[in-house]
Amino acid sequence: MLKLLSASQIRSADAHTIQHESIGSLDLMERASNAFVQKFVAFALDRQTNISIYCGTGNNGGDGLAIARILFKNGYKNVSVKILHFSFKTTSDFDENLRRLAKTNISAEIFNEESEFPEEHSPILIDAILGSGLNKPLEGGYARWITHLNNLSKKVIAVDVPTGFFCDAPLDKNAIVFHADHVISFQRPKLNFLLPESAQFIKEFHVVDIGLDEHFIQAQDSNKVWVEENDIKAILKPRASFSHKGTFGHALIIAGQTETMGAALLSSEACLHAGAGLTTAFIPEPGLSALNARSPEVMAILGDLQKIEWNKFDALGIGPGFGVQVSSLEVLRKCLTHYRGPAVYDADALNMLAANKELFNLLPENSIVCPHVKEFDRLFGAHKNWQQRIETMERESTERGLIIILKNRYSIITAPSGVIYFNPTGNPAMASGGSGDVLTGILTALLAQGYSALQTTIAGVYIHGKAADELVQERKMFTVPARYLIKQLPITMGKLINSFA
Ligand SMILES: NC(=O)C1=CN([C@@H]2O[C@H](COP(=O)(O)OP(=O)(O)OC[C@H]3O[C@@H](n4cnc5c(N)ncnc54)[C@H](OP(=O)(O)O)[C@@H]3O)[C@@H](O)[C@H]2O)[C@@H](O)CC1
Ligand SMILES: Nc1ncnc2c1ncn2[C@@H]1O[C@H](COP(=O)(O)OP(=O)(O)O)[C@@H](O)[C@H]1O
Ligand SMILES: [K+]
């Protein structure tokens, strides 16, 4: 897992690396600029393309000047530099890179706040005006120039952080920010890249390693971490030779009503595919033929609550398509009072918990709750922004001992320990009804197999997104309906296990 750092912690990591690695700050800037260019070439395959690099006069601007020189050396001959010299202050590394640029044939123009805007013929703009040093919202000349540049509707690649974009403070939707098609960011994703409010400013971000001291970074005081594939490989265990269905637990999925039986089918089928030894679905009677037709491996308990032998099950998943009527509420109440094993609460189970706070207070420690944003706000109240939601889930997890998954592009997981995990996998092809039901099935299956609630959550959320990523990347699928996701699960899990051997 990689620790996520604030902008000021990254600055300390820069300073530490410079001090302890006998590398000058200028060399670090050169390294960062080289790393940027290595990634950038994929976005400008034609080396004849005109590229305009807009630079400020701080270190982000210094990067821009170095990038111009490195691109030129790499065969991009139509690179031009535009320096927005709005402040008398320059950094020494900016100054030195300006001297180095002067020795090349690259054209560089200087503008001040009042300058008229130059004609812009380049289809690609590189944003090296302001980076992580942003300390107040853009106004005056910066605001005027960025608004103008945004209106040109060019392809924009930002260096480290788009100009005007705060890395850590809550994003204002009316902020003036240089809108970026791609951000090539140094060493770590910045917190706000991972939150949906960034979508209006950034289409895609990429992170490049610039060789900052990883020991120093990992020792920083940050409770936010970025999950990596190796973490999942370390969690998942291969299946032992003499294992049998009893080894992998018996999962109970409580889901579905007549009109939403699909949710029960999807979650129980996902549970089966994610490796539960036995899966039983508690469903209303009209769903039986569909269940048998779709997943003959799955057993059923039909409608009658009294038939559930609670202590028979190693894991429970409740909620998908379950409804919030009195009979469902009765089942949920029974779960909370009669079932003592690990459990996942999703969808309508969460809606009922939101409407019946006394039941919410009965949730045992280490229960997994997996709301999407609407369910989250129903449970915990309205929030102004995602940073507030993160604060709430961190507090609720630590106070109640729960594991909370706030589902999104980068699903966020909070644990009773106070650690906040950001999941990297998943993609917009998953954005259709049923994807969440599959996640519930995966989580229940992992719990049944004996993984701890936290291991289950970190691995389950990762596998869910990774299966969809593989379908998009390897099979070029445009959308990934839930049933395809389910079929991919054993393949994805197999790769994660086998590549470790
Ligand atoms: N060794 C390293 O550290 C490395 C750093 N690297 C690069 O450096 C970048 C950070 O550079 P930076 O700290 O110089 O800040 P930058 O973003 O260029 O801003 C310049 C100055 O603008 C000012 N300012 C802020 N907000 C403002 C506003 N709204 N309106 C007007 N002015 C505003 C503020 O000055 P102040 O207001 O404090 O006087 C600020 O200092 C980082 O993103 C990466 O690209 C890499 O090369 C790797 C090695
Ligand atoms: N744009 C996206 N990028 C990544 N993951 C996504 C995206 N859209 C949806 N998902 C994932 O799909 C799932 C949707 O869950 P949910 O909203 O509960 O769906 P449903 O209840 O309809 O099954 C979540 O795990 C979410 O993270
Ligand atoms: K920038």
The pLDDT tens digits for 247-270 are: 999 999 999 999 999 999 999 999
The verdict on the CB of residue 436 being under 6 Å from ligand 2 is: yes
Look up the pTM and report it.
0.96
Tell me the pLDDT tens digit for each residue of 212-245.
Answer: 999 999 999 999 999 999 999 999 999 999 999 9
What are the distances in angstroms from CA 2 to CA 61, 291, 368, 422? 28, 42, 23, 10
- Per DSSP, which regions of 284-390 are E strands? 299-302, 315-318, 343-345, 368-369
User: What atom in ligand 1 is closest to the CA of residue 25?
Assistant: 1
What is the enclosing helix (H) or strand (E) of 110? strand 107-111
| CATH 3.30.160.270 for domain 2-221 | no
* Residue to mutate, 408, 412, 469, ligand 2, most ligand atoms under 8 Å from C-beta: 408
ipTM for this prediction: 0.94
The reply to whether 76 sits in an annotated binding site is no
With a cut of 90, say whether residue 501 has pLDDT above it: no
Tokens coding 236? 């998942």
Alpha-carbon distance of 53 to 40, in angstroms, equals 13
Query: Measuring from atom 39 of ligand 1, which residue has the nearest CA?
Result: 89
The verdict on the CB of residue 196 being under 6 Å from ligand 2 is: no
Which ligand is closest in space to the CA of residue 21? 1
Tokens coding 94? 């900016």
Alpha-carbon distance of 125 to 244, in angstroms, equals 59
Q: 493 CA distance to ligand 3 centroid (A)?
A: 38
Tell me the pLDDT tens digit for each residue of 2-46.
Answer: 999 999 999 999 899 999 888 899 999 999 999 999 999 999 999
Which ligand is closest in space to the CA of residue 460? 2
Q: 379 CA distance to ligand 2 centroid (A)?
A: 18
What residues does each domain of the chain span?
2-221, 229-498
Q: Where are the alpha helices (DSSP H) in 51-132?
A: 59-73, 92-102
Tell me the pLDDT tens digit for each residue of 467-499.
Answer: 999 999 999 999 999 999 999 999 999 999 965
Tell me the pLDDT tens digit for each residue of 40-49.
Answer: 999 999 999 9
Q: State what percent of residues in the chain have pLDDT above 70.
A: 99
What is the third-level CATH fold of 229-498? UDP-N-acetylmuramoyl-L-alanine:D-glutamate ligase (3.40.1190)
Q: 54 CA distance to ligand 3 centroid (A)?
A: 9
- Sheet of strand 51-55, all strands in order from the earlier edge strand to the far edge: 107-111, 79-84, 51-55, 124-128, 155-159, 180-186, 202-208
Q: State what percent of residues in the chain have pLDDT above 90.
A: 95
Say if residues 453 and 367 touch (Cβ distance below 8 Å): yes
Q: 399 CA distance to ligand 3 centroid (A)?
A: 39
Say if residues 151 and 120 touch (Cβ distance below 8 Å): no
The verdict on the CB of residue 131 being under 6 Å from ligand 1 is: yes
With a cut of 80, say whether residue 122 has pLDDT above it: yes
Tell me the pLDDT tens digit for each residue of 356-368.
Answer: 999 999 999 999 9
Residue 278: its pLDDT value, please?
98
Taking all residues of the chain, what is their mean pLDDT, rounded to a whole number?
A: 96
Tell me the pLDDT tens digit for each residue of 373-397.
Answer: 999 999 999 999 999 999 999 999 9
Say if residues 191 and 171 touch (Cβ distance below 8 Å): no
**Residue 303 — very low, low, confident or very high, per pLDDT cuts 50/70/90?**
confident
Q: 210 CA distance to ligand 2 centroid (A)?
A: 33
The verdict on the CB of residue 56 being under 6 Å from ligand 1 is: yes
Residue 499: its pLDDT value, please?
53
